[in-house]
Structure 1
Amino acid sequence: MQITRRRLMTGAVALGAMGALPRLGFSATTITLGETTIDTLSDGHLVLPTEFVSPNPGAIEMLAKFGITTPQVEAPCNVTLLRDGTNTVLFDVGAGPDFMPTAGKLSAALDALGVTPEDITHVVFTHAHPDHLWGVLDEFDEPIFANAQHMMGRAERDFWLSPEAATQMPHGREVFAAGALRRLSVLEDRLATFEDSEEILPGIGARASTGHTPGHMAFEIRSGNTAVMLTGDAIGNGHLAFAVPDWISGSDQDGETGISTRLGLLAELSASGLPMIGYHLPEGGIGRVERAGDAYRFVAEI
């Protein structure tokens, strides 16, 4: 398995080892698994209040250990693109223009890579939060990836299409439900669903990882003897999720279930050495989990 990092500029591709990337670039980290190429593309980043990362009273002090001393945290957004010679698959589609001005940059990243929306054969969602789903429609409410089969876990789809979804949102996040309902209603005739442990496409297995949302899915991507785990938001950031994984995450809809899911994934990934891709993790989100005493750390592979 080979992992490389690139900076993509609109109209050009710069190859080589990169340090801190300028804001005008679109970073990409690439894994090669046999004949399969996996790129993580930047959709930009979110700006989140500290309590959204964790409501724990010790969160500010703990974040300071990672050099985060502001009342807000920047969370990178890594959209995953898989190409195996037959299928061209997007895992999540970013935020689009309607969520945060710092996100919604996926189209520029795809352009820089030379991939058009028409090239995408499948769109697979980990879950239906705005930064993963809202980039699926254009300004006329038409699907951007018009040739693609869209896919989502059945439980996740059913939750966001239910009339109770808005009432189950934490205060201030009711718009999440309205936005998901609008987009999933447009996609309904092209949205296939799947279950836990199902092989949704050759070499791509779904894995229930609930807590962040009621039907959140992770995916194990395998080619020959090599594999990588795409965890979505089940492991939600590169600092507290590893250092204090038993703390409630402010972004999880069911905090206790989220803890259980996170602890299970971290233990498995650290024991197996299997590389992972995290949607909100640094350096393109690709790396490995290592034990660090009673906790863990994320080691980016660049």
Structure 2
Amino acid sequence: MNLTRRTILRGAMGGALTLGASSLLPRRSFAASTLALGSAMLDTLSDGNLVLPLSFVTPHDGAAAKLAELGVTGDQVEPPCNVTLYRDGTNTVLFDVGAGPDFMPTAGKLGEALDALGVSAEEVTHVIFTHAHPDHLWGVLDDFDEPLFTNATHMMGAAEMDYWLNPETVNTIGTERQSFAAGALRRLEILKDQIETFEPEAELLPGIRAHASFGHTPGHMAFEVAQGSNSVMIVGDAIGNGHLAFAVPDWVSGSDQDAEMGVATRLSLLSMLAERKMAMIGYHLPGGGIGMVEAANGAYRFEPEV
């Protein structure tokens, strides 16, 4: 297995500025890390970033002080959004699809990142969802509310699908997340006849197996991608940030819908990843999200490949 250094993909933006004979073209950069796994390739593409209050990371009273120790200050965080693209010569698979244009102005950049990489939406053969929060699902439709990845088989864990399709979820999820529920229901109602559901431990494609990682949402899934003796775990939001999730993994996360289950899932994943020395990809982790988990001072740390 080969973890490569971080690369920069550049996609042109509109609005050239002309000065005499020269033309200045504003451009947006898309960070990507690449992991070679046997004959397959995993790339992480930036969908932009979120802007969240600190309480969304954790409601713990000691959060600000602990983050300061880790070099993070201020009352908000701006986690990156790393969409994983897997290509093995036969299948072109997206794990999650980003936020689309309707969630936050800082996110929804996946289309530009794919363009910069030279991959079209029509080339995607499978879309596999870790869960149905806005920054993972809402980019699945185009501007006309039609499926964006027209040739892709869409796949979601059965428990996750059932939860967001339940019309009562919007009434039980809590005021702060009601828009999450309404947005998921609208998109999944459009797509439901095209989505295949699966159970934990199912092999979705050769070398791609689902693992239950419930807590962040009721049916959140992680995915182990393997070729030969090498494997990488795509953890979605089960390990949700690059600081507190590792330094104090037993602290509850404000972003987990079932906080205690989220803690148990996170501790289990971190222990397994460290013991097996397995590479991981985290949706909101730094450096493109690809790296390793290392045990450190009774807890853990994330070592990104940057």
Q: TM-score, normalised by structure 1?
A: 0.95
Match 1:179 to one of 176, 183, 197: 183
* 1:43 match: 47
Q: Identity rate of aligned residues, in percent?
A: 65
For each residue in 1:129-172, what CA deviation from the matched residue of structure 2 results, as whole angstroms up to 9, or x when unmatched?
A: 00000000011100100110000000000000002211232331
Residue aligning to 1:130: 134
Structure 2 counterpart of 1:9: 10
1:239 aligns with 2:240: no
Which position in structure 2 is the counterpart of 1:144? 148
Residue 75 of structure 2 corresponds to which residue in structure 1? 71
Q: Which residue of 2 aligns with 1:19?
A: none
Distance in 2, Cα, partners of 1:192 & 1:31 = 27
Matched, 1:107 2:107: no
Is the CA contact 1:34–1:223 (under 8 Å) kept in the aligned structure 2? yes
Which residue is equivalent to 2:208?
A: 204
Q: Which runs of 5 or more structure 2 residues have no equivalent in the other structure?
A: 13-26
Per the alignment, residue 22 of structure 2 pairs with: none
The one-letter code matched in structure 1 to 2:112 is A
Post-superposition offset of 1:63: 1.2
The answer as to 2:270 corresponding to 1:270 is: no
Conservation of the 8 A alpha-carbon contact between 1:245 and 1:263: yes
Question: Could you tell me how far apart the structure 1 residues matched to 2:112 and 2:181 are?
Answer: 27
Q: Does 1:261 align with 2:262?
A: no
Instruction: Provide the residue aligned with 1:287 in structure 2.
Output: 291
- Structure 1: segments with no counterpart, 5+ residues: 12-22
The CA distance in 1 between the partners of 2:143 and 2:113, in whole Å, is: 19
Once residues 301 and 50 of structure 1 are traced to their aligned partners in structure 2, the CA distance between those partners, rounded to angstroms, is 26
Taking the aligned partners of 2:168 and 2:64, their CA distance within structure 1 comes to: 34
Aligned partners of 1:165, 1:290: CA distance in 2, in Å? Answer: 37
The amino acid across from 1:87 in the alignment is: N
Q: Any conservation in 2 of the 1:8–1:27 contact (CA below 8 Å)?
A: yes
Give 1 or 2 for the bigger CA radius of gyration. Answer: 2
Q: Is the 8 A contact 1:170 1:253 kept in 2?
A: no
| Counterpart contact for 2:11–2:28, Cα < 8 Å | no
Rounded Cα–Cα distance in structure 2 between residues aligned with 1:164 and 1:299: 41
Question: Is structure 2 residue 159 aligned with structure 1 residue 155?
Answer: yes
CA RMSD, Structure 1 to Structure 2 (Å):
1.4
Q: For residue 24 of structure 1, give the secondary structure of its aligned residue in structure 2.
A: strand
- Indicate how the Cα distance of structure 1 residues 67 and 170 shifts in structure 2: closer, same or farther if over 3 A, else same: farther
Instruction: Tell me the distance in 2 between the aligned counterparts of 1:147 and 1:169.
Output: 33
Aligned equivalents of 2:157 and 2:216: distance in 1? 14
CA distance in 2, matches of 1:170, 1:245: 24
Checking the alignment, whether the CA contact within 8 Å between 1:46 and 1:76 is kept in structure 2 is yes
Distance across 1 between alignment mates of 2:232 and 2:129: 17
Partner of 2:226: 222
* CA deviations over 1:238-275 (Å, ceiling 9, x no partner): 00000110011000000000000000000111111000
| 1:249/1:258 contact within 8 Å kept | yes
* Aligned residues between the structures: 293
